[in-house]
């Protein structure tokens, strides 16, 4: 829009005539004076139609909240007694000289000027495009952008590159159920959506990338909770020639910088972040994501800690061995012989490091098993047959036989971190278009049935089993 001035910049245009483009936030009629609060992405300003402005009065008569306008007016300094110092633009006012209605709005199903906590979540989800208009949600999505941008800049400066990895892929053994996508071309076969880019990022290390990161979407078909969504975002990274301390130090420094630069009102309880062994954490806190805050009433206190020395394997209910975190992890160096000899399996510790914040796991990673023979042994311990290993992990073993650098990495649950930084109690509040607790998108109405034609093309003929 030509000559548009953003609301945040109005105070540098005092006594000038300007044009803004905005939503109507509030309308207040006070007899001869009509007041509005106008809102654009940069903030709010009060507008007033003075009794003399007949034309403006006429156009403004039908205008209601959430209408979309172009407003032409003069920026006036407010008289001293009307100044609201604590408010953005509290010392100015836009004297409305003309209004162009860009679009009308029917009455919204709920108030978008409150913080929204009083509104049923189903309703908020169904009209998410309106729900996102509220200040709290605008802050959440804009701070999310700021954090992600900070991460991208920081890691780029450290020599990392962001590489996208496929969404249509093959099942990865992250321990959760896969979402699957039927193939039309290869009928009867399925892609799996990635639970994480784990294998691809390791293959990028074999490819010589050395420092990889990605703001990566991950899909896990698990029951949704306040801090879980069927699709969520990881800050995923992997580094070659790195040891545990390298990955931990880099991530710690990045987290500290995010808090100090973007959340200066928050206080980190302890730097460097304390490190707690899995065993101590379980004994002392009864969990592997301990809440070590010394004052749990303080919303600005961030108590980060690392949890290390996790057991590599645990027994399933059926009595078989399964991995606790990641089948691609390396054991701690002193346990490599145990892996190769499959000896004292229950006591083998992994190079796994998790990071917890105020009682939530916000990330985890490990140094990987880059030697094909050791990885093969782990897969054998996990009960995979020779045939199964070749079929599912053959590409990894093959890749590692061509000179794989030692490597390790980590992934953050970005939604959870943002939830905590923004002081929210659900990750749904920091995701623009989240799913409900039942994994539904109420606005788009997904999941939904698809047309018979689509099913025929996919060669799918099914009966829903009750
Ligand atoms: N891929 C792992 C996860 O999603 C994280 C990692 O080990 O880098 O939990």
Provide the sign of the torsion angle of the four alpha carbons 413, 414, 418, 419, taken in this order: negative
Q: Of 57, 88, 103, which closes a domain? A: 103
Pair 37, 140 in one domain: no
Take atom 1 of ligand 1 and give the residue whose Cα is closest: 198
Residue 444 is assigned to a structural domain of this protein: no
Position 465 scores a pLDDT of 82
Pair 303, 423 in one domain: yes
Question: What's the pTM value of the predicted model, to 2 decimals?
Answer: 0.96
CA of 216 to the centre of ligand 1 (A): 11
Give the CATH number, domain containing residue 408. Answer: 3.30.930.10
CA of 147 to the centre of ligand 1 (A): 20
Least confident of 30-34, 94-98, 181-185, 275-279: 30-34
Pair 250, 322 in one domain: yes
Indicate whether 361 pLDDT > 70: yes
Indicate whether 173 pLDDT > 70: no
Side-chain-side CA neighbours of residue 141 (13 Å): 15
Residue 209 · residue 163 · CB < 8 Å: yes
Separation of alpha carbons 95 and 69, rounded Å: 15
Take atom 6 of ligand 1 and give the residue whose Cα is closest: 365
**Most confident segment among 6-20, 25-39, 173-187, 379-393:** 6-20
Mutate to test the pocket of ligand 1, among 326, 351, 366 (most ligand atoms within 8 A of CB): 326
* Ligand 1 closest atom vs CA 352: 7
Residue 326 in contact with ligand 1 by CB distance below 6 A: yes
Residue 214 in contact with ligand 1 by CB distance below 6 A: no
Residue 435 is assigned to a structural domain of this protein: no
Q: Of 43, 68, 103, which closes a domain? A: 103
Residue 356 is assigned to a structural domain of this protein: yes
CA of 352 to the centre of ligand 1 (A): 10
Pair 57, 183 in one domain: no
Pair 48, 147 in one domain: no
Pair 63, 200 in one domain: no
* Total of domains in the chain: 2
The DSSP bridge partners found for residue 397 are: none
Pair 74, 139 in one domain: no
Give, in degrees to the nearest 5, the angle at Cα 321 between 319 and 327: 155
Residue 364 in contact with ligand 1 by CB distance below 6 A: yes
Pair 25, 145 in one domain: no
**Number of residues in the chain:** 466
Residue 454 is assigned to a structural domain of this protein: no
Pair 133, 95 in one domain: no
Owning domain of residue 74: 7-103
- Convert the pLDDT of each residue in 396-452 to its tens digit: 999 999 999 999 999 999 999 999 999 999 999 999 999 998 899 999 999 999 999
Give the CATH number, domain containing residue 60. Answer: 2.40.50.140
Position 243 scores a pLDDT of 96
Average pLDDT of the segment spanning 173-189: 90
CA of 411 to the centre of ligand 1 (A): 5
Take atom 7 of ligand 1 and give the residue whose Cα is closest: 365
Indicate whether 187 pLDDT > 70: yes
Residue 198 in contact with ligand 1 by CB distance below 6 A: yes
Residue 449 is assigned to a structural domain of this protein: no
Residue 447 is assigned to a structural domain of this protein: no
Position 5 scores a pLDDT of 98
Indicate whether 178 pLDDT > 90: yes
Pair 269, 410 in one domain: yes
Residue 366 in contact with ligand 1 by CB distance below 6 A: yes
Q: Of 34, 69, 103, which closes a domain? A: 103
CA of 432 to the centre of ligand 1 (A): 24
Average pLDDT of the segment spanning 219-246: 92
Residue that has been written with the tokens 């030692």 in this structure: 406
- DSSP state string for 60-124: HTT--TT-EEEEEEEEEEPPGGG--TTSTTTTEEEEEEEEEEEE--PPPSS-SSS-STTS-HHHH
Helix (H, G, I), strand (E, B) or coil at 163: coil
- Convert the pLDDT of each residue in 297-350 to its tens digit: 999 999 999 999 999 999 999 999 999 999 999 999 999 999 999 999 999 999
Residue 27 · residue 34 · CB < 8 Å: yes
Pair 374, 276 in one domain: yes
Residue 174: pLDDT band with limits 50, 70, 90: low
Indicate whether 222 pLDDT > 90: no
Residue 249 is assigned to a structural domain of this protein: yes
β strands within 309-399, DSSP E:
313-315, 321-323, 353-357, 360-367
Residue 410 in contact with ligand 1 by CB distance below 6 A: yes
Pair 161, 268 in one domain: yes
Average pLDDT of the segment spanning 11-19: 98
Average pLDDT of the segment spanning 238-256: 98
Indicate whether 466 pLDDT > 90: no
CA of 105 to the centre of ligand 1 (A): 45
Residue 281 in contact with ligand 1 by CB distance below 6 A: no
* Ligand 1 closest atom vs CA 328: 7
Position 97 scores a pLDDT of 95
Residue 197: name the closest of 328, 307, 323, 289 by CA. 328
Residue 2 is assigned to a structural domain of this protein: no
Take atom 8 of ligand 1 and give the residue whose Cα is closest: 410
Indicate whether 225 pLDDT > 80: no
């Amino acid at each position: 829009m030509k000559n548009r001035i953003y609301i945040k910049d109005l105070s540098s245009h005092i006594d000038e005539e300007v044009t803004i483009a905005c939503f109507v936030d509030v309308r207040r009629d006070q007899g001869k004076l009509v007041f509005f609060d106008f809102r654009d992405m940069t903030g709010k300003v009060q507008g007033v139609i003075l009794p003399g402005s007949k034309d403006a009065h006429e156009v403004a008569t039908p205008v209601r909240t959430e209408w979309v306008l172009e407003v032409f007016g003069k920026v006036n300094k407010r008289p001293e007694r009307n100044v609201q110092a604590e408010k953005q633009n509290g010392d100015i006012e836009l004297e409305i000289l003309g209004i162009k209605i860009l679009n009308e709005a029917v009455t919204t199903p709920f108030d978008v000027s409150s913080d929204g906590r009083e509104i049923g979540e189903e309703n908020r989800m169904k009209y998410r495009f309106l729900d996102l208009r509220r200040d709290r949600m605008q802050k959440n999505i804009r701070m999310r952008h700021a954090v992600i941008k900070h991460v991208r800049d920081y890691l780029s400066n450290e020599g990392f590159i962001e590489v996208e990895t496929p969404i249509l892929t093959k099942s990865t053994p992250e321990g959760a159920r896969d979402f699957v996508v039927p193939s039309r071309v290869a009928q009867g076969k399925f892609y799996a959506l990635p639970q994480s880019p784990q294998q691809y990022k390791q293959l990028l290390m074999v490819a010589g990338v050395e420092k990889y990161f990605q703001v990566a979407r991950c899909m896990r078909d698990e029951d949704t909770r306040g801090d879980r969504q069927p699709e969520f975002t990881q800050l995923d990274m992997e580094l070659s020639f790195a040891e545990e301390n390298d990955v931990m130090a880099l991530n710690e420094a990045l987290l500290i910088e995010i808090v100090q630069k973007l959340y200066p009102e928050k206080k980190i309880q302890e730097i460097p972040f304390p490190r707690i062994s899995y065993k101590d954490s379980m004994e002392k806190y009864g969990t592997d994501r301990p809440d070590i805050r010394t004052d749990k009433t303080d919303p600005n206190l961030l108590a980060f800690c690392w949890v290390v020395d996790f057991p590599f394997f645990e027994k399933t209910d059926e009595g078989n061995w399964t991995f606790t975190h990641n089948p691609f992890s390396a054991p701690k160096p002193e346990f490599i012989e145990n892996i190769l000899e499959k000896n004292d399996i229950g006591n083998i510790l992994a190079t796994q490091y998790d990071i917890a914040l105020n009682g939530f796991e916000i990330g985890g990673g490990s140094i990987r098993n880059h030697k094909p023979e050791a990885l093969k042994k782990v897969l054998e311990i996990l009960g995979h047959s020779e045939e199964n290993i070749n079929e599912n992990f053959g590409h990894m073993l093959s890749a590692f036989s061509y000179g794989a650098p030692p490597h390790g990495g980590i992934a953050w649950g970005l939604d959870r971190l943002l939830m905590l930084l923004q002081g929210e109690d659900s990750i749904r509040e920091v995701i623009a278009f989240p799913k409900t607790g039942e994994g539904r998108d109420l606005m788009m109405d997904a999941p939904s049935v698809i047309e018979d034609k689509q099913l025929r093309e996919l060669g799918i003929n099914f009966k829903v089993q009750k």
